[in-house]
A = this chain, B = another copy of it.
Amino acid sequence: MRLEDVAKLAGVSIITVSRVINSPELVKPATREKVERALNELNYVQNPVARALASNKIGIIAVYIPAAIDLTNPFVMHFVAGISEVLSKHVYSFLIRRELDNEHLCDGYIATGLLKDEVKQIYQYTNERNRPLVLFGHTEHPDIDCIDVDNTLGAKKVTQLLIENGHRHVAMINVDEDKDYTLDRALGYRRALEEAGIDPQHCPQIIAVNNVEGGYGAMKRLIVEHPEVSGVFCATDTLAIGAANAILKAGKKIPADLSLVGFDGLGHDLLVRPNVTTVHQPVYEIGMRLAETLIARLNGSQKRVKELVPPDLILRDSVARVNG
């Protein structure tokens, strides 16, 4: 079933059929009708591969999520859902790529979850293929469109919340990964301390694997080794869930005995008690913005996009005044 078959039946040339499909306004109504009848009769279905080859447009965006990243992670899911919403409006499909192999059946790339080394790699990869690239994070790279959460600001805000509630002995449980957000959140934490005149040296920072067990173990250690600490900032909500379990297990109350804050805000609130005060990362929105940015590029935009999205505090039930 090709344009040719339809053309033959309708008694026109194939290009006229193509026009009826792609720009019907260019075809005289009488002819158009004739062609449409033929299209219907033959139940014509276009071959998008052939169109892609001829027009150099495929209608697919590749979302690159390295194989090391767990797809079922809510962070990833919300990100992908945001992308999906925007792309479907623009008649783009998207595919999820887990590695950078020879294929590149797409018009452009969105990437997330990259380690620093991987940024150079995908930059080269997309350049070789002459396709635009937009990134979640890594805003330090001048030649790539990037959008990120302002991790430093978020960490600072939430640490300040602890301080404002009278906590002078605070601690941070951070993630054991070579990613910017780790450093940025640690930086925000330190800045909040310094601005409040608290010596960061006196405020422990524990490194843990980013899962519930990691948070649990770190908090357990913290309770034993630093009994003076009254407020804890966990670099992720996942860590915070583990930490909360450890606190309760130790027979302490949240927030009466220990105040706890997290970072992510991806819906755990419905599931955990007490609800942990946290920083909401607008991941869904960032997915949307990145998709919009990429589409703008595909439509010819030359504007370099660099955005730092300020996160919001979500105040819940896990912070109390010291001795209050």
Instruction: Tell me the A residues contacting B by CB distance below 8 Å.
Output: 43, 45-50, 52-53, 58-60, 62, 67, 70-72, 74, 76-78, 80-81, 84, 88, 91, 93-99, 101-105, 128-129, 212, 241, 267-268, 270-273
* Given known A-B contacts A77-B71, A271-B271, A59 and B96 have beta carbons under 8 A apart: no
Min CB distance A204 to B, Å, is 25
CA–CA, A241 and B268, complex, Å = 12
Provide the bound-state CA to CA distance between A43 and B128, in Å.
Answer: 8
CB distance from A122 to the nearest CB of B (A): 14
Partner of A71, one of B46, B84, B97, B101: B84
**B102→A46 contact, CB < 8 A:** yes
Task: Report copies per complex.
Answer: 2
Of residues A43, A48, A49, A268, which shows the largest number of chain B Cβ atoms within 10 Å of its Cβ? A49
Task: State whether A99 and B95 are in contact (beta carbons under 8 Å apart), knowing that A52-B49, A59-B105, A128-B45 are contacts in the complex.
Answer: no
What are 21 A-B contacts with C-beta separation under 8 Å? A45-B128, A46-B102, A48-B102, A48-B105, A49-B49, A50-B53, A58-B105, A60-B95, A67-B88, A71-B77, A71-B80, A71-B81, A72-B77, A72-B78, A72-B81, A80-B96, A84-B98, A93-B97, A95-B96, A241-B270, A241-B271
Residues in B whose Cβ lies below 8 Å from that of A96: 80, 84, 93-96
